[in-house]
Amino acid sequence: MLSIVCPFYNEKENLPILVERIGKVVAGLQESWEVVFVDDGSTDGGPETMATLIAHQPGFRLLRLDRNYGLTTALYAGLRAAQGDVLATLDADLQNPPEEITKLLAFLKEADIVTGVRAKRQDTWLKKISSKIANTVRRAVTKDHIQDIACTLRVFKRETLEAFYPYNGMHRFFLAIAERQGFKIKQVPVTHAPRLYGKAKYGVLNRIVGPLSDLCVVRWMFAKQIRYRFKEGTV
């Protein structure tokens, strides 16, 4: 079963289009599926809109967190509650086209995680530059090969969830940790759309300060991680 997990926080205007587009995607799937929307404590009436939108749509679920916790928690909660052996995630703001999920799924035969690389990113130049710097700094520390770690548009096998550590900010390091754990990651260019409705919740500052201190923790974890092999013939 495929579970599509989509967290949202104050995205009311995007929700009707999102439900319609995801609906078309799942209608074309061969395998069984569910769609798990996670309301991360929205205050704009979005959850009520969502409840109405999916009321007569079997397979669509709405989970509501009791307050706003941030994207890591919303994603984590949704992924834990999802039932699929294959999981997909995407942002609710329509910057990640839901139609790309089908494309990513086709590559899951050759990898454990298939992740999008936003080819022509439709964000402000400041966001694009800060993202480039963040990716370069992180790669220098973690030595990973991930080009666009912040692209939420991904499909992956359930067993890779062991690389999603339950700490705030760790959704950003999921792929770097998964790669280190030996999971095979395939990176596929995906289209990226400008945000038409609602506001971006993550700016330049909260994209650098928190992640930088998280990077120190990841550096520590990678350095201290217990890794060993037995001498041949001794076990």
Q: Which residues contribute to the site for ligand UDP (CB under 6 A)?
A: 7-9, 11, 40, 68, 70-71, 74, 91-93, 95, 200-202
CA–CA separation, 116 vs 97, rounded Å?
Answer: 11
Ordered DSSP codes for 133-169: HHHHHHHHHH----S-TT---EEEEGGGGGGS-SSTT
234, burial (CB in 10 Å: exposed 0-12, middle 13-18, buried 19+): exposed
Q: Could you tell which of ligand UDP, Mg ion, none binds residue 68, using a CB distance below 5 to 8 A set by kind? A: ligand UDP
CA–CA separation, 177 vs 23, rounded Å?
Answer: 32
Nearer CB in complex with Mg ion: 93/179: 93
Q: Could you tell which of Mg ion, ligand UDP, none binds residue 11, using a CB distance below 5 to 8 A set by kind? A: ligand UDP
Is 73 an interacting residue with respect to Mg ion (CB under 5 A)? Answer: no
Q: What are the distances in angstroms from CA 209 to CA 118, 185, 216? A: 23, 27, 11
Helix ranges, the chain (H): 15-27, 46-54, 71-81, 100-105, 125-142, 174-180, 205-224
Nearer CB in complex with Mg ion: 152/187: 152
Q: Which of 3, 10, 42, 95 binds Mg ion (CB under 5 A)?
A: 95
Q: Could you tell which of ligand UDP, Mg ion, none binds residue 74, using a CB distance below 5 to 8 A set by kind? A: ligand UDP
Q: Could you tell which of ligand UDP, Mg ion, none binds residue 8, using a CB distance below 5 to 8 A set by kind? A: ligand UDP
Q: Could you tell which of ligand UDP, Mg ion, none binds residue 29, using a CB distance below 5 to 8 A set by kind? A: none
8 Å CB contact between 93 and 195: yes
Closest CA to 199 of 76, 49, 92: 92
Q: Could you tell which of Mg ion, ligand UDP, none binds residue 77, using a CB distance below 5 to 8 A set by kind? A: none
| Shortest Cβ 200–ligand UDP spacing (Å) | 4
- 61 secondary structure, DSSP code: E
Q: Which of 34, 39, 40, 93 binds Mg ion (CB under 5 A)?
A: 93
**Candidates 21-29, 42-50, 86-94, 153-161 — which segment interacts with Mg ion by CB under 5 A?**
86-94
Nearer CB in complex with ligand UDP: 14/187: 14
| Shortest Cβ 232–ligand UDP spacing (Å) | 47
8 Å CB contact between 94 and 17: yes
